[in-house]
Structure 1
Amino acid sequence: METESLKLARLTKLVTEHYHLEPLSINRQQGGWASLAYRIETPSNSTYFLKEYEKKRSSTPKLTARLHKYIPVTCWLNENTNLAGKIPVPLKTQSGEYVCENVDGIFLLYEYIHGETIGEKALSQTQIEQLTTILAELHKAGNSISVPAEHLTEDFHVPFMNALNETMAARDLSPRLRSAIKPYKNVLFEHISVLQDLSLKLAGRMLPLRWCHTDIHPWNMMQSDHQLILIDWEGLKLAPVEADLMFLTDETYFHDFFALYKKIHPDYIIDEEALRFYKIRRLLEDIWEFTEQFLYDEQSEPEKEGTLKQLIHELESLKCGTQHSIDKIKPE
């Protein structure tokens, strides 16, 4: 197996060639489930954050397919709205690109955010207000911005649905996977059917579209000095705002969030069909992601076991249903 030193040598070569940086050190940081992360120190005392999507992972083609589409939008938002300093934007390479790659992966380089990830910590009242302000500002922007929204506009198509349906119904499914999904098979196929119906119904409606992050959770929030920062914008999309609000409706602070959000967007009314679509799609998408990892990624036995546990957790969430969380937000 390749040593870590060889990997770091290739990273040093990458940042030297593409960014003209001379790293003093490159240290592995805690990344997300979809990417690796590195902290880079330089002689000028500047610090950088290098994000890597590994080429060997089955999720990488999907996550990187839209990089050249969504990054210009984040740059526009950072330069033309009150989101400046609240969202990270990647640095350009010497050739003017936002992305570079080597044999290992596809890379983005950012200025390092000195702060801490919210993660498992509860949001403070100030952080709730700042999150509300960020999303309310983001949702002011629609398709009138000067950056093309091609391939970033919601069409309610669910690209993984057929693959999920066929894989879960396959007779030659891995015995371990078959055993894991057996208690949830009926509810899984019921939700696939509901999502198909909602997909067709929403595609025929003319819902207002705004720019949405589409992956709002505490692991994508950082506190830096006195400002909350929303990171990981791979899912940026022109969509109904329920694509963002769906992540918050089950949070204990949702009513505080929504009261402030309504002050900024007083005419907004939650669309229950869109909310239900996004909640179900997210659960099924996560189920498909973990299924793909289990079947196709190069994983050790402990890693496979961990993936299976995560899959079962998502299936259990599906079993608990989405209607209850929608009912909770209705006025008394």
Structure 2
Amino acid sequence: MTELTQIHHGADTTAEVWRADGYAVKWSTGGTTAAPETTSYLAEAGVRGALAPIRTRTGALWSNRAGRRLSLTPWIDGARAADTGLTTVQWSQYGALLAEVHSQEVPERLKYLLPPLNPINARMLALARELRQRFTTQAPEDDLEAELATTWLAHQDEIDELVERSTRVPPPGLRVICHADPHLGNVLVTPAQLYLIDWDDAVLAPIEQDLLFMLGGMGALGPATPEAQQAFFTGYGPAALDPTRLTYYRTARALEDVAQWAEQALTSPNREASLAILQGVLGPAGLAAQALT
């Protein structure tokens, strides 16, 4: 009999992950079917930090189970970089890994499969408006929601600006394979290799989509010091960033973090932790302030 151990990390409520006999088992409705296709392609192209799904008996990259995608990847017995941090050398290794992803030629099948924008962003505008309506018209149901409403309303002007800016279309740029969520919570560290996991939000977008995570506002999930940031870009190499595109992607991510963590502060089992994360996003060093600077 196979023993399943459920893994609880991150904010994704659309996926469940277990460890089982040397495999990571994921059962998900999140993202798109481009995710397993992308990691399979990257692994075949020699990107060691991307893990290809184990194919089913029919050769597919996943199977459908109760309306969700069920997939297996090799289990990596490594530490989450969000828990351990990265050394200067590892930051350079991570920069080189992300540059390797971005430099891959995009095959025709991925040009059609990969969305140009993170699918999550599509519902953030409506969610932010729903939350504003709730906090301005309904009495809080408990003390935690009262604190949540106070936090939200204290930053209402900034949140409104994030909503407005998120409707602006960024200028076009060279589109590459982007992970779209490459913070340290999605990086596994082993002595031999760094691995970038959880590709559910993979997109075909300019490099600013990924590099926003390395430029401040992510707290312990990104470079926390100038030295770490320099080490990352030493590994990544020269990057000509367009300020308008960078602002757009930062704004979209900041709105996602604000709306999703507020929603989870209302509904998740870890409401207090979700509220604390939201307060960090809206704080003076958080991503919302970075996006609006």
- For normalisation by structure 2, the TM-score amounts to 0.80
Aligned counterpart for 1:69 among listed residues 9, 29, 34: 34
**Contact 1:142/1:209 (8 A) holds in 2:** no
Structure 1 residues 305 and 174, CA gap change in structure 2 (3 angstroms): farther
Aligned counterpart for 1:310 among listed residues 260, 270, 277: 277
Ranges of 4+ aligned residues in structure 1 off by more than 4 Å: 101-106, 155-158
**Contact 2:93/2:232 (8 A) holds in 1:** no
Match of 1:289 in 2: 260
Matched, 1:258 2:233: yes
Matched, 1:322 2:291: yes
Match of 2:57 in 1: 94
Match of 1:186 in 2: 157
The number of aligned residues is: 271
Q: Offset of 1:151 from its aligned partner?
A: 4.8
**Contact 1:40/1:50 (8 A) holds in 2:** yes
**What is the one-letter code of the residue matched to 1:232?**
D
Q: Offset of 1:174 from its aligned partner?
A: 5.8
Match of 2:248 in 1: 277
Match of 1:247 in 2: 213
Structure 1 residues 33 and 169, CA gap change in structure 2 (3 angstroms): closer
Distance in 1 separating the partners of 2:79 and 2:290: 33
Aligned counterpart for 1:131 among listed residues 80, 94, 97: 94
Q: Offset of 1:178 from its aligned partner?
A: 3.3
Q: Offset of 1:135 from its aligned partner?
A: 1.2
Distance in 2 separating the partners of 1:112 and 1:162: 36
**What is the one-letter code of the residue matched to 1:78?**
A
Structure 1 residues 272 and 49, CA gap change in structure 2 (3 angstroms): same
Aligned counterpart for 1:109 among listed residues 49, 72, 85: 72
Structure 1 residues 102 and 172, CA gap change in structure 2 (3 angstroms): farther
Unaligned runs of 5+ in 1: 1-21, 42-46, 54-60, 325-332
Distance in 1 separating the partners of 2:20 and 2:124: 39
Deviations 1:105-141 (A, max 9, x none): 6432111112222223231233122212111111112
- For normalisation by structure 1, the TM-score amounts to 0.72
Question: SS of the counterpart of 1:238?
Answer: strand
Larger Rg: 1
**What is the one-letter code of the residue matched to 2:43?**
N
Question: SS of the counterpart of 2:19?
Answer: strand
Distance in 1 separating the partners of 2:113 and 2:41: 17
Deviations 1:229-249 (A, max 9, x none): 111111211111011111011
Match of 2:112 in 1: 150
Distance in 1 separating the partners of 2:77 and 2:271: 33
**What is the one-letter code of the residue matched to 2:6?**
R
Q: Offset of 1:77 from its aligned partner?
A: 1.5
Q: Offset of 1:155 from its aligned partner?
A: 5.3
Query: Which structure is richer in relative contact order (CA contacts within 8 A, separation 6 or more)?
Result: 2
**Contact 1:167/1:173 (8 A) holds in 2:** no
Question: SS of the counterpart of 2:58?
Answer: coil
Match of 1:15 in 2: none
